[in-house]
Chains A and B, each alone.
Chain A
Amino acid sequence: QSALTQPPSASGSPGQSVTISCTGTSSDVGGYNSVSWYQQHPGKAPKLMIFEVTKRPSGVPDRFSGSKSGNTASLTVSGLQAEDEADYYCSSFAYSNNLVFGTGTKVTVL
């Protein structure tokens, strides 16, 4: 199972929005509504930000939103804040009961 494709980096100024893409295939992203997004700060464990494409766990700000079209899912962070600077990973359920992660995107707040 190949990793999902994410851009290596993305950036925005405080208050702006940034959108990260996550491209897979019909055997993972496109085939199931099971895309999740994780935020990871340096030296820390990943934190679930979005699950099942659009749902936010309790405590995650509504500045974080998810969507999907075809084989590509997206995470949008609106109203960027300094603490949003982190690595972001998507993941998806994949055919044959696998979980596949994306390559990761480093978000920089300018």
Chain B
Amino acid sequence: EVQLLESGGGSVQPGGSLRLSCAGSGFTFSNYDMSWVRQIPGKGLEWVSGISTSGGGTYYADSVKGRFTISRDNSKHTLYLQMNSLRAEDTALYFCASGQWYLPDWGQGTLVTVSS
């Protein structure tokens, strides 16, 4: 059974940083592109970033470009999202998902709150 478990969310002040992690199990992690998607509670989905199997290709939404960095460690079956210069509008539930242009499996999300 595919499992994706996000961690690293929490409360941070504007301008601060957080690093999210997503541990994958039940599938060959290194064979799958991976993505981050966020959702403000009660609102719609927003794609944040995607990464190719090797990590050589990375893609970002304009809203996070230059502030967020996606990476992966295939030896640890883990996906990361380094979030810098956080803003109030980054407050959301962050999901990791397998795939890049369609997303077959999702984690349950980790909540990031940016507030002073």
Answer whether A45 and B61 are a contact pair too, CB < 8 Å, given A34-B101, A38-B45, A89-B44.
no
Question: Which of A47, A48, A99, A103 sits near B44, CB closer than 8 Å?
Answer: A103
Q: Are A46 and B106 in contact (CB under 8 A)?
A: yes
- Taken together as a complex, chains A and B put the C-alpha atoms of A103 and B106 apart, in Å, by 19
Write the chain A residue with the least CB distance to B109.
A45
Say yes or no for B29: interface residue by CB 8 A criterion. no
**Residues of B within 8 Å of A, CB-based: how many?**
21
Contact status B103-A36, CB under 8 Å = yes
Q: How far is the CB of A29 from chain B (nearest CB, A)?
A: 13
Q: Please list 8 pairs of residues, one from A and one from B, whose beta carbons are closer than 8 Å in the complex, sorted by A's number.
A: A36-B103, A38-B103, A45-B107, A47-B106, A52-B102, A89-B44, A89-B45, A98-B47
A98 and B102 contact, CB distance less than 8 A: no
User: In terms of DSSP, what is the predominant structure of the interface of chain A?
Assistant: strand
Instruction: Indicate the size class of the contact surface on chain A.
Output: 20 to 34
Pick from A1, A45, A91, A102: contact of B102, CB below 8 A: A91
Contact mask for chain B residues 81-116; partner A; CB cutoff 8 A; 1 contact, 0 none: 000000000000001000011111111110000000
Known: A45-B95, A51-B102. A101 touches B108 (CB 8 A): no
Check: B46 CB closer than 8 A to any chain A CB: yes
- For the complex, give the distance between the alpha carbons of A57 and B60 in Å: 26
CA distance in complex: A38, B102 (Å): 10
Contact across chains for A98 and B61 when beta carbons are under 8 A apart: yes
Please tell me if B27 contacts chain A, counting CB pairs below 8 Å.
no
What is the CA–CA distance of A93 and B103 in the complex, to the nearest angstrom? 12
Choose one: B35, B47, B104, B107; the contact of A100 (CB below 8 Å).
B47
- Rounded to whole Å, the gap between the CB of A89 and the closest CB of chain B is 5
Is the beta-carbon distance between A57 and B45 smaller than 8 angstroms? no
Tell me how far the C-beta of A52 lies from the nearest C-beta in chain B, rounded to whole angstroms: 7
In the complex, what residues of A have CB within 8 A of residue B107's CB? 45
